[in-house]
């Protein structure tokens, strides 16, 4: 561990020999195509599938009515709600699934989909979440007993105490920050090949899934198929970012079609379908207030948030947390009082939301506090760095109990800040800014000192749809000393085939090259909850270490037997046991592995393997400081990122090269969110960000050069002190970008700008303030 | 349904032919007929470049071409980069410099970089970024892809043009 | 999405002649490319269809036209047209106010203000395509209107052909690039 070894999985990808779901081709395979609603809210009066069915090559057209006969027209979501698989009665968002066509060839299936005639009666549309609870708002969910658009109310903290602090506060700062609806848009869209083999009775589903075991269990429960007859295989996944956590109607339809037709059914969604109907992220409308003393000591935080979940609450979140882990919004700062409340509502939009490259709702939280702190700094007319450093939780206070109930494991926030400041040359930049301002030039510096909570999570508090959030690892050592490991997680590019091998190499001394790592086949891998929310290293990585240590315990006994001594006489260094004081009397792990099959001690079982299901004692709390420098063109409003320094602390690092790559990628996503992206809806519920024409992804030209750095504050409860890091850059960066732009314009009186900060927004502000070139 | 017609395309040096509908996209031809699934489909508006291939020496997005338009042409896909069991310097570069994570954009990136280096042996960082600006990546932030291309440029300068597969 | 389109054009014919055309929905409908009145429901409501092609995508809308206000004295008409795609791929509605004004040279100025609402796949393209398509359709409407004016009132024609798909798409694309914001 700690070495930047090259990735083992690269070999197949650089040759174009990856095995993604769309690469799976089975004999006799047929293709599915979804018919979708053009209306955001309408009654379904009738569907005429006759013309579609008559088209040569079409095998079947499934509608909601057909599914209803098998009780499958609706399916449970991951969060106490249900969602329509195929529309029955009404449609609730544009692009909602209405019928599923299956044909011999994907082009014929698309032709047939055009021939399906659907009769709709338009209903009034609700797209503004703020209007969802108005007395005259259209009620979207006829199927619910509670005839309202209100999904949940959740609160945490001490409302009375917080209100009191605000009443008496010397200084108050308030910001209303919208984290716009965006979409993870992994480069590979979602899809599956569902193959029910009537001869064996088994259903194999090749699936773009970040959580194959959980999906298998859900398919078993919802579909009534015995779980031992279902095999979910997540082969290579082209990016997930949370988009591949939910179960989508297309999967269910493909399974039903395969069961009906007895042939493999492939369904791969198009990009438009992906952007318009699959798990969106964010859409949090948040108000934060900070109370502080005149000399800048934060005393309390008060938060009120409106959460837009679209037509169904398909949030992929631990069940006790309707607003995810949003209560981390108190941030990296030390104060005793806080209160937070979140209300979720339905609207005529695609259902969700998922945790897009973040631990559930942690991005929204980090964005909110980091914006609020900057607004407070502006209010106090103090430097935003000063204000942060004054309020950071100091290292001696860990484990730190936050006012909203989190126990932060470890942290040294000031250390990360210091590295960031030194790397970017903060003082010189502030001088430069002053000089530029005098000349009327616009330059800004944005800070984000985020802390996030990842690695869900301990069984006493965390479960997804009832399944506890442990994770697992199974290691088997072969007679010739090579190892095979399987985990319950599923990489979508994070490099698990390499990093897990490094953990095993560290714990057992078997070279990483001799360790094969497999994930994603539910027939062979031990049960796990999958990869998202930065949980692989904290949970499954821990399981790997624990399994390896169990093996080491057995290996010690074998070594003692081979060296004819007692276990107490032995010492360990990675790769071998040796007699204390006589290092030449040693047995390598390879010797021991061979002996495990050929020369076991009396009474010992053969073999050298172990499995561990790890229940993490706590979550982990990675953190960092990001600093962004921007220059704004007064003529066009365009914001150019001049420099971005990201200092991350994720505890002990397994592979620095892989961590750095993750940071680059996440920062690029943050850049896109801050400046370019939004899934918007017009007043009729038409999706405005439904293709890459409107939902913009940065190319190599827009993406700046990222500078990365690190500090290391190990997690005291993790077997090797690691915390998880894949998502920190997406969590911490939006605030850094926005803070930089606001900082560039703060002398004009600007306090906040909502994302995405497109040039026209900045230009309008400049015009309004009389500062346009 | 329009009448199928015969299409003959040389893919990675091998002649391939099939009877196809005029509307069959080139990317589907590549993935379906010779079964070369390295070329990927990532979007439906010609933005992402995951389908990039080299057609008679020029990069094209194969999702925005019909197979019949490529009749009689020569095509290079990612599978054609390796020669005699040896990785192309670009492939080596992507591995050495961690220029890929999920691997989905990689084939398109490799072809675009290949085309860039065949016209510009020693591109600057800016030229590389422009050269791959038709290829979207969600994982890497492009920084290491730039390094991968620079690695390859350096290697090819040393090793000479013999490393390039023999495609028009 | 809601779009507001304002157009003004002049014709040589005197105001009363123009009004007799403008206030007759059956005749006006023949000027709209791809439109057809199929039946009259009552004195101010009609049923009709309109075919719109944008590039390769053809949509047939079926719906109703209602005369909300007919003011012969001030030469003003207000119509509401609503239609749904027959295959269930979307809907559109348009509220149009048409006003006439006598010109000094004896001709008439026709002003129309329309509020157009489109729901469905077409609306996802955003205003960029819809406004161009509307511009082109309106241009054709004006030509047809002028031609109708020159014909005797009782020569009721059948229906105006829908705009050629290719020319519509090409013109829309050109317009999108050259349009002044």
Supply the pLDDT for residue C77: 92
Tell me the torsion sign for CA atoms A539, A541, A545, A547: positive
Q: Is residue B160 predicted with pLDDT exceeding 60?
A: no
Q: What is the mean pLDDT of residues A283-297?
A: 97
Within 8 A of A116 by CB-CB distance, chain C residues are 87-88
Residues of C with CB under 8 A from a CB of A: 1-2, 84-91, 117-121, 123-124, 126
What's the order of all strands across the beta sheet hosting C45-54?
C2-11, C108-120, C90-102, C76-85, C57-71, C45-54, C35-42
Supply the pLDDT for residue C126: 59
Of A14, A492, A668, the CB nearest to B102: A492
Closest-CA residue of chain C to A122: C91
At A24-46, the pLDDT tens digits run 999 999 999 999 999 999 999 99
- Give, for A143, the enclosing helix (H) or strand (E): none
* Spatial distance between the Cα atoms of C107 and B20, rounded to a whole number of angstroms: 59
Three-state secondary structure of A211-226: CHHHHHHHHHHHHCCC
CB contact residues (below 8 A), chain A span 648-677, against chain B: 657-658, 660-669
Whether A727 is a known active-site residue: answer yes
Neighbours of chain B (3+ CB pairs under 8 A): A
Phi, psi values for residue B144, rounded to 5°: -75, -20
A520: left (phi over 0), alpha (psi -120 to 50) or beta: left
Tell me the torsion sign for CA atoms A128, A131, A133, A136: negative
Supply the pLDDT for residue B167: 45
- Length in residues, chain C: 181
Within 8 A of A6 by CB-CB distance, chain B residues are 95-96, 98
C-alpha to C-alpha distances, C175 to A616, A691, C52, nearest whole angstrom: 61, 22, 18
CB B40 within 8 A of CB B51: yes
C118–A686 C-beta distance less than 8 A = yes
Q: What is the mean pLDDT of residues B120-134?
A: 97
The CA distance from C61 to the nearest CA of chain A, in Å, is 12
Give the residue carrying structure tokens 């809806």: A681
Supply the pLDDT for residue A224: 87
Within 8 A of B95 by CB-CB distance, chain A residues are 6-7, 10-11, 14
- pLDDT above 90 as % of chain C: 27
B43–A15 C-beta distance less than 8 A = no
pLDDT greater at residue C178 or residue B151: B151
Q: Is A189 on the interface with B (CB under 8 A)?
A: yes
Within 8 A of A682 by CB-CB distance, chain C residues are 1-2, 123
Domain B5-78 has CATH 3.10.20.30: yes
CB A316 within 8 A of CB A279: yes
B98–A658 C-beta distance less than 8 A = yes
* Spatial distance between the Cα atoms of A480 and A182, rounded to a whole number of angstroms: 50
Say which CATH architecture domain B89-159 belongs to.
Answer: Orthogonal Bundle (1.10)
Closest-CA residue of chain A to C59: A114
Which of A263, A302, A357, A371 does the annotation list as catalytic? A357
Closest listed residue to residue A148, CA positions, set A349, A352, A346, A350:
A346
Q: Is residue A197 predicted with pLDDT exceeding 50?
A: yes
Local confidence band at A666 (pLDDT 50, 70, 90 cut-offs): very high
A117–C1 C-beta distance less than 8 A = no
A118–C123 C-beta distance less than 8 A = no
Supply the pLDDT for residue A457: 85
Within 8 A of B96 by CB-CB distance, chain A residues are 6
Local confidence band at C132 (pLDDT 50, 70, 90 cut-offs): confident
pLDDT greater at residue A381 or residue C135: A381
* Spatial distance between the Cα atoms of A560 and A564, rounded to a whole number of angstroms: 6
Whether A358 is a known active-site residue: answer yes
Supply the pLDDT for residue A591: 95
CB A585 within 8 A of CB A618: no
Supply the pLDDT for residue C175: 55
At B50-106, the pLDDT tens digits run 999 999 999 999 999 999 999 999 999 999 999 899 999 999 999 999 999 999 999
CB A502 within 8 A of CB A655: yes
* Spatial distance between the Cα atoms of C82 and C161, rounded to a whole number of angstroms: 20
Q: Is A51 on the interface with C (CB under 8 A)?
A: no
Closest listed residue to residue A367, CA positions, set A281, A426, A268, A265:
A281
* Spatial distance between the Cα atoms of A453 and A478, rounded to a whole number of angstroms: 38
The CA distance from A99 to the nearest CA of chain C, in Å, is 12
* Spatial distance between the Cα atoms of A484 and A551, rounded to a whole number of angstroms: 13
A669–B143 C-beta distance less than 8 A = no
Supply the pLDDT for residue C129: 74
Interface test with A, best of C119, C176, C181 (most A CBs within 10 A): C119
Q: What is the mean pLDDT of residues A310-322?
A: 92
Closest-CA residue of chain A to B45: A692
Which of A306-310, A536-540, C166-170 shows the highest mean pLDDT? A306-310
Q: Is residue C163 predicted with pLDDT exceeding 60?
A: no
| Range from A499-508, B45-54, C60-69, C118-127 carrying the lowest mean pLDDT | C118-127
* Spatial distance between the Cα atoms of A745 and A760, rounded to a whole number of angstroms: 15
At A407-436, the pLDDT tens digits run 999 999 999 999 999 999 999 999 999 999
Q: Angle at which helices A212-223 and A249-261 pack, to 10 degrees?
A: 60
Supply the pLDDT for residue C180: 38
Whether A357 is a known active-site residue: answer yes
A239–B45 C-beta distance less than 8 A = no
Contacts of A734 (CB under 8 A, 6+ apart): A179, A363, A367, A448, A670, A673, A674, A755
Which of A510-514, A534-538, C26-30, C111-115 shows the highest mean pLDDT? A510-514
pLDDT greater at residue C138 or residue A635: A635
Supply the pLDDT for residue C181: 36
A188–B136 C-beta distance less than 8 A = no
Local confidence band at B168 (pLDDT 50, 70, 90 cut-offs): very low
Interface test with B, best of A22, A276, A700 (most B CBs within 10 A): A700
CB B4 within 8 A of CB B21: yes
Local confidence band at C161 (pLDDT 50, 70, 90 cut-offs): low
The CA distance from A172 to the nearest CA of chain C, in Å, is 40
Angle in degrees, CA B3, B7, B10, rounded to 5:
165
Q: What is the mean pLDDT of residues C101-108?
A: 92
Interface test with B, best of A8, A10, A12, A14 (most B CBs within 10 A): A14
Tokens of A415: 């250390």
Q: Is A40 on the interface with C (CB under 8 A)?
A: yes
Whether A329 is a known active-site residue: answer no
The distance of Cα A187 from the centroid of its chain, to the nearest Å, equals: 15
pLDDT greater at residue A207 or residue C57: A207
The CA distance from C50 to the nearest CA of chain A, in Å, is 18
Angle in degrees, CA B128, B133, B136, rounded to 5:
120
- pLDDT above 70 as % of chain A: 100
Supply the pLDDT for residue B166: 47
Q: Are strands A442-451 and A623-632 parallel, antiparallel or unpaired?
A: antiparallel
Q: Is residue C171 predicted with pLDDT exceeding 80?
A: no
Cβ neighbours of C163 (radius 10 Å): 21
Closest-CA residue of chain A to C89: A38
Q: Is residue A397 predicted with pLDDT exceeding 70?
A: yes
Within 8 A of A39 by CB-CB distance, chain C residues are 90-91, 119-120
Q: Is residue C6 predicted with pLDDT exceeding 90?
A: no
* Spatial distance between the Cα atoms of A332 and A317, rounded to a whole number of angstroms: 23
Q: What is the mean pLDDT of residues A670-681?
A: 96
Interface test with C, best of A682, A689, A692 (most C CBs within 10 A): A682
Supply the pLDDT for residue C142: 85
| Range from A114-123, B77-86, C59-68 carrying the lowest mean pLDDT | C59-68
Q: What is the ipTM of this complex?
A: 0.95
What's the mean per-residue pLDDT of chain C? 80
Q: Is A553 on the interface with C (CB under 8 A)?
A: no
Domain boundaries, chain B: 5-78, 89-159
Give the residue carrying structure tokens 């990785």: B87
Of A40, A120, A683, the CB nearest to C88: A120
Half-sphere exposure of A749 (CA within 13 A, CB side): 6
* Spatial distance between the Cα atoms of A606 and A603, rounded to a whole number of angstroms: 9
The CA distance from C18 to the nearest CA of chain A, in Å, is 35
Within 8 A of A661 by CB-CB distance, chain B residues are 98, 101, 139-141, 144
Which of A329, A358, A485, A628 does the annotation list as catalytic? A358
Which of A474, A497, A609, A727 does the annotation list as catalytic? A727
A117–C86 C-beta distance less than 8 A = yes
B and C: touch, per 3+ CB pairs < 8 A? no
Supply the pLDDT for residue A134: 97
A664–B143 C-beta distance less than 8 A = yes
SS3 content of chain A, % helix, strand, coil (to 5): 30, 25, 40
C-alpha to C-alpha distances, A504 to A10, A143, A546, nearest whole angstrom: 20, 51, 10
Q: Is residue A221 predicted with pLDDT exceeding 60?
A: yes
pLDDT greater at residue B57 or residue C1: B57
C and A: touch, per 3+ CB pairs < 8 A? yes
């Amino acid at each position: 561990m700690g070495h930047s070894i090259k990735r083992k999985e690269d070999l197949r990808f650089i040759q174009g020999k990856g095995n993604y779901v769309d690469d799976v081709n089975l004999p006799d395979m047929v293709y599915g195509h979804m018919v979708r609603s053009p209306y955001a809210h309408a009654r379904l009066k009738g569907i005429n599938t006759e013309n579609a069915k008559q088209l040569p090559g079409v095998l079947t057209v499934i509608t909601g009515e057909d599914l209803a006969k098998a009780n499958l027209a609706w399916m449970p979501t991951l969060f106490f709600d249900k969602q329509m698989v195929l529309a029955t009665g009404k449609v609730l968002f544009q692009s909602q699934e209405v019928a599923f066509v299956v044909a011999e060839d994907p082009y014929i299936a698309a032709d047939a989909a055009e021939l399906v005639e659907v009769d709709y009666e338009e209903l009034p549309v609700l797209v503004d979440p703020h209007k969802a609870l108005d007395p005259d708002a259209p009620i979207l969910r006829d199927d619910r007993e509670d005839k309202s658009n209100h999904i949940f109310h959740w609160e945490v903290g001490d409302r009375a105490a917080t209100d009191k602090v605000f009443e008496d506060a010397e200084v108050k700062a308030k910001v209303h920050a919208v984290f716009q609806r965006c979409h993870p848009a992994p480069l590979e869209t979602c899809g599956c090949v569902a193959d029910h083999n009537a001869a064996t009775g088994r259903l194999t589903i090749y699936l773009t899934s970040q959580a194959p075991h959980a999906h298998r269990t859900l398919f078993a429960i919802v579909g009534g198929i015995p779980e031992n007859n279902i095999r979910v295989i997540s082969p290579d996944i082209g990016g997930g970012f949370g988009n591949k956590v939910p179960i989508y109607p297309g999967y269910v339809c493909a399974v039903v079609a395969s069961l009906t037709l007895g042939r493999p059914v492939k369904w791969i969604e198009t990009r438009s379908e992906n952007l318009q109907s699959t798990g969106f992220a964010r859409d949090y409308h948040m108000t934060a207030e900070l109370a502080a003393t005149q000399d800048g000591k934060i005393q309390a935080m008060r938060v009120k948030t409106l959460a837009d979940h679209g037509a169904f609450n398909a949030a992929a979140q631990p069940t006790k947390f309707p607003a995810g882990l949003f209560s981390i919004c108190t941030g990296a700062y030390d104060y005793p009082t806080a209160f937070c409340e979140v209300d979720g509502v339905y609207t005529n939009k695609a259902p969700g939301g998922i945790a897009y490259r973040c631990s559930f709702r942690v991005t929204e939280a980090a964005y909110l506090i980091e914006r609020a702190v900057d607004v407070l700094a502006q209010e106090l007319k103090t430097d935003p760095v000063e204000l942060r450093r004054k309020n950071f939780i100091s290292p001696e206070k860990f484990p730190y109990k936050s006012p909203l109930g989190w126990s932060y494991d470890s942290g040294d926030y000031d250390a990360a800040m210091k590295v960031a400041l030194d790397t970017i040359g903060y003082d010189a930049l502030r001088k430069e800014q002053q000089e530029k301002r005098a000349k009327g030039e616009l330059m800004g510096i944005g800070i984000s000192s985020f802390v996030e909570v990842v690695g869900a999570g301990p069984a006493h508090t965390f479960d997804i749809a009832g399944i506890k959030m442990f994770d697992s690892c199974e290691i088997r050592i072969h007679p010739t000393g090579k190892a095979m490991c399987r985990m319950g997680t599923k990489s979508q590019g994070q490099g698990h085939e390499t990093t897990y091998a490094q953990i095993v190499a560290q714990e057992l001394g078997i070279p990483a090259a001799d360790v094969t790592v497999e994930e994603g086949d539910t027939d062979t891998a031990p049960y796990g909850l999958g990869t998202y929310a930065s949980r692989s290293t904290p949970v499954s990585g821990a399981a790997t270490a624990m399994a390896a240590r169990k093996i080491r315990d057995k290996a010690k006994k074998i070594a003692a037997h081979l060296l004819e001594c007692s276990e107490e006489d032995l010492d360990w260094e990675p790769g071998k046991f040796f007699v204390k004081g006589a290092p030449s009397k040693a047995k390598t792990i390879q010797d021991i592995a061979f002996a495990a099959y050929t020369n076991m001690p009396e009474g010992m079982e053969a073999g050298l393997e172990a499995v561990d299901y790890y229940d993490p004692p706590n979550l982990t709390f990675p953190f960092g400081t990001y600093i962004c420098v921007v220059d704004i063109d007064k003529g066009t409003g365009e914001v150019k990122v001049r420099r971005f320094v990201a200092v991350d602390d994720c505890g002990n690092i397994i592979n620095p090269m892989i961590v750095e790559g993750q940071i680059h990628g996440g920062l690029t996503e943050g850049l896109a969110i801050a400046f370019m992206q939004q899934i918007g809806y017009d007043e009729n519920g038409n999706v405005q960000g439904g293709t890459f024409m409107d939902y913009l992804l940065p190319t190599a030209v827009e993406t700046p050069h990222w500078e990365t750095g690190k500090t290391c504050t190990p997690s005291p409860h993790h077997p090797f002190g690691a915390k998880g890091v894949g998502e920190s850059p997406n969590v911490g960066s939006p605030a850094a970008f926005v803070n930089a732009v606001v900082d560039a314009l703060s002398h004009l009186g600007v306090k906040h700008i909502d994302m995405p900060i497109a040039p026209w927004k900045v230009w309008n502000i400049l015009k309004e303030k009389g500062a346009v070139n | 349904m329009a009448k199928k017609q015969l299409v003959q395309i040389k893919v990675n040096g091998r002649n391939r032919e099939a009877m196809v509908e005029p509307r069959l996209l080139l990317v589907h031809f590549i993935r379906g007929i010779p079964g070369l699934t390295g070329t990927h489909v990532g979007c439906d508006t010609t933005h992402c470049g995951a389908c990039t291939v080299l057609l008679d020496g020029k990069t094209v997005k194969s999702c925005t071409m019909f197979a019949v338009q490529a009749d009689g042409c020569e095509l290079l896909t990612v599978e054609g980069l390796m020669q005699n069991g040896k990785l192309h310097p670009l492939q080596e570069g992507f591995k050495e410099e961690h220029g890929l994570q999920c691997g989905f954009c990689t084939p398109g990136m490799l072809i675009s970089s290949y085309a860039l280096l065949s016209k510009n042996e020693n591109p600057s960082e800016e030229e590389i970024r422009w050269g791959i600006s038709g290829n979207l990546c969600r994982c890497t932030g492009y920084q290491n892809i730039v390094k991968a291309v620079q690695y390859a440029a350096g290697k090819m300068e040393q090793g000479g043009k013999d490393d390039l597969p023999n495609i028009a | 999405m809601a779009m507001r389109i304002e157009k003004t054009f002049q014709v040589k014919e005197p105001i009363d002649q123009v009004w007799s055309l403008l206030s007759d929905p059956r005749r006006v409908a023949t000027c709209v490319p791809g439109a057809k009145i199929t039946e009259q429901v009552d004195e101010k409501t009609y049923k009709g269809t309109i075919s719109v092609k944008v590039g390769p995508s053809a949509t047939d809308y079926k719906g109703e036209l209602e005369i909300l206000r007919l003011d012969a004295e001030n030469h003003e008409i207000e119509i509401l047209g609503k239609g749904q795609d027959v295959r269930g791929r979307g809907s559109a509605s348009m509220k149009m106010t048409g006003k006439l004004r006598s010109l000094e040279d004896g001709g008439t100025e026709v002003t129309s203000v329309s509020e157009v609402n489109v729901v469905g796949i077409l609306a996802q393209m955003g205003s960029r395509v819809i406004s161009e398509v509307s511009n082109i359709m309106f241009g054709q409407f004006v030509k047809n209107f002028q031609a109708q004016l020159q014909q005797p009132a009782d020569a009721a024609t059948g229906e105006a052909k829908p705009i050629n798909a290719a020319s519509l798409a090409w013109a829309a694309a050109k317009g999108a690039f050259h349009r002044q914001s």
